[in-house]
Chains A and B, each alone.
Chain A
Amino acid sequence: MTEPRPEAVLHTASADPARSALDPWPGEVTWRPVSARLVGLELTRIAISTAVMLAVCAVLWFLTGSWWAVSAGVVVLAFTVVRGVVGVRAARSYGYAERERDLLVRHGRMVRHLSIVPYARMQFVDVVAGPLERAFGLATVQLHTAAAASDATIPGLEPAEAARLRDRLAALGEDAGEGL
């Protein structure tokens, strides 16, 4: 704790645009994008929730005739636009890279996340596909380690790619596997 303070180098986004949580090692890692249909899936999800909320507002307006219900509907619409923009950007930001010994997963635009999960630490791999995801022909691969906080979820994968990734991860995990 007696170490001198590190010199204050200001890394603003403009000064060092290449380096961020979305691409920490420029040029060293080849990132794979997820399917472009994830954007459609995300928009559909938002549309469904908006439709439900609008329906609730409509019913309330129908029953009470109150203008509050109408203004609530307007708020829902405005909120939907924001969610749409954030959702699309977030969906596009997903990427993963299989390095020699670990899997990298990145996502997020507002808050950027990067996860590094060594294959040796993998406890099990899940491939999940909900009804909506299946309609879009997509699946989600989740990696689990012994730590509950580990976050390595890759949504929006083609089923074939999801299966390939799962098999590869399982095989790599076996090679490098050990207890805790």
Chain B
Amino acid sequence: MLGRQRLHPLSPVLKSVRTLFLVVAAVSWRGLQNLGADRYALVLLGLLVLVLLYSAVAWRFTGYEVVGRELRIHEGVLFRRTRAVPLERLQSIEVVQPVLARPARLAELKLDVAGAGKAEAPLAFLPLAEADALRTRLLALASRTAAPAAETAAPEAARPEEPDLYRVDNNDVVVSQFLTPPVMFTPLAVLYIVGQLAFNSDFGVFAVASMVTAVAGTIGAPVMRILNFWNFRIGRAAQERLRIRHGLLETRSQVVGAQRIQSLAVTWPLLWRGKGWLRVTLAVAGQNAVSADGQQSRAETDRLLPVATVDTARAIIPLALPGLDITALRLSPVPDQARWLAPLRRRVLAAGLTEHAFATVDGLLTRQLTVVPYARIQSVRVTEGPWQRRLGLATVYVDVAGSTPAAAAHRPLAEAFTWADELTTRARAARALAV
């Protein structure tokens, strides 16, 4: 419609700064020691110029355009590549604003496409408003099969944003992340280091340094999560899609359609039980993968609720999977024979076919409820181990895209096969309805 579009002219600068950080991290202290401060700075400057030049050239060849129902992304300096992304395959779109891009009000657009090992072709960087508008337009185009109204894009973008339906309390996020095993054990480790320092004179500086690094490493993950889940807001986007926004330094805003949610998991970690908290994660195909350069892999983008009470979860989950009430699932426990294979877990294990979805519960300490809507079932498997066979038990697996399969362990054999049959039948019926 608009022809080929360029990315924002500042993108090469931002990208090269990002690359430079990696280079600095790679050569860091050793390089500084060997070269001396002046020459080190000179080398860095030289690298910066080189990277900048390359990025500038790359920027000239990078562009995108929307042709029909396809997004075409042109890129590459030596090897030109034009990637065509069919929009009906789009699973979700995320607008990410890294720290560096925020002052310039730039953002990155990440497209999740089913089957891709990584987030497909991030468009970095676009002005924030343009990124939002492009997302709205792409999503409108993506769902045009359902509603042939092509001109919805413009009014959609102009419409004032809907208020958020729910905000996660930042205090809860902080407390919940401190109630995790790495953080709980850190005081012990610190005490140990201090104790060694005080009473053990042989304890070298290097041992202390490495231990401090280790402690920082374990605390790192929860701190990253706090930064990532800060200001967590859930709202509605156009056409019943979910809009999830979060992040303190790097802000992320994701829009995902309910029909793109492959499965949903509710987890009750042991340390959160006192608080009565749980977390809810969504599996979207092509999403929970590592990005091309592996840097963003630590940011978890699969949360529907990073921390919540059961009541909140009951209110929010139906937005993702309509009609699902996690407290009213009728699940059946495993038979008594299972005690030989799972003496303790037997009390926890349960599974069942509910109205719209297959649900299983597992995990003694960290309890997890997995829900797979019938329409999202990819394949069904039944396995029967040698011990299970003696006891007349079997395990039913329901495979979904973009997530580990939901497993109903140790079901009576006859029930397992009835379920397998029933699941394929219901999956077919649900698919027929969805089309």
Contact = CB atoms under 8 A, between A and B. Distances in A.
Interface of A: 1-3, 5-6, 8-13, 15-16, 19-21, 24-25, 101-102, 108, 110-118, 120-121, 123, 145-147, 149-152, 178-180
A5 B399 contact: no
Interface in B329-345: 329-333, 335-337
Nearest to A11: B392
A147 B378 contact: yes
Of all A-B residue pairs in the complex, the 7 with the closest CB atoms, nearest first, are A11-B392, A146-B401, A147-B399, A147-B378, A24-B417, A150-B379, A21-B384
Given A10-B392, A101-B428, A146-B115, A121 B383 contact: no
B386 A118 contact: no
A121 B415 CA distance: 24
A111 B386 contact: yes
Contacts of A179: 88-89, 114
Given A3-B332, A146-B114, A116 B350 contact: no
Nearest to A19: B413
Interface string B103-131: 00000000000110000000000000000
B188 to A, nearest CB: 36
A178 B378 CA distance: 12
Contacts of B378: 117, 121, 145-147, 150
Most chain B CB within a 10 A radius of its CB, from A13, A102, A121, A149: A149
B114 A21 contact: no
B323 interface: no
Contacts, number: 142
Contacts of B333: 3, 5-6
A21 B379 contact: no
Contact of B114 (A12, A120, A180): A180
B330 A20 contact: no
Given A116-B379, A146-B115, A150-B379, A178 B413 contact: no
A19 B390 CA distance: 13
A118 B424 contact: yes
B205 interface: no
A6 B285 contact: no
Contact of B417 (A25, A108, A117, A120): A25
A128 B9 CA distance: 47
Given A13-B389, A120-B431, A180-B262, A112 B381 contact: no
17 contacts: A1-B329, A6-B335, A8-B335, A9-B414, A10-B392, A25-B421, A117-B378, A117-B379, A118-B424, A118-B428, A120-B428, A121-B377, A146-B285, A147-B378, A147-B401, A179-B89, A180-B89
Contacts of A114: 381-383, 420
B380 interface: yes
Given A1-B329, A180-B114, A180-B285, 15 more contacts: A5-B335, A6-B332, A6-B333, A13-B390, A21-B383, A111-B386, A112-B389, A113-B382, A146-B285, A146-B402, A147-B378, A149-B381, A149-B404, A150-B378, A150-B381
B379 A111 contact: no
A143 to B, nearest CB: 9
A115 B423 CA distance: 12
A116 B422 CA distance: 12
Contacts of B399: 145, 147, 149-150
Contacts of B428: 101, 118, 120
Interface string B366-385: 00000000001111111111
Given A120-B428, A146-B114, A179-B114, A16 B413 contact: yes
Contacts of B329: 1
B332 A21 contact: no
A11 B413 CA distance: 7
A96 to B, nearest CB: 14
Contacts of A151: 379, 381
A121 B389 contact: no
A102 B424 contact: yes
Contact of B332 (A5, A8, A120): A5
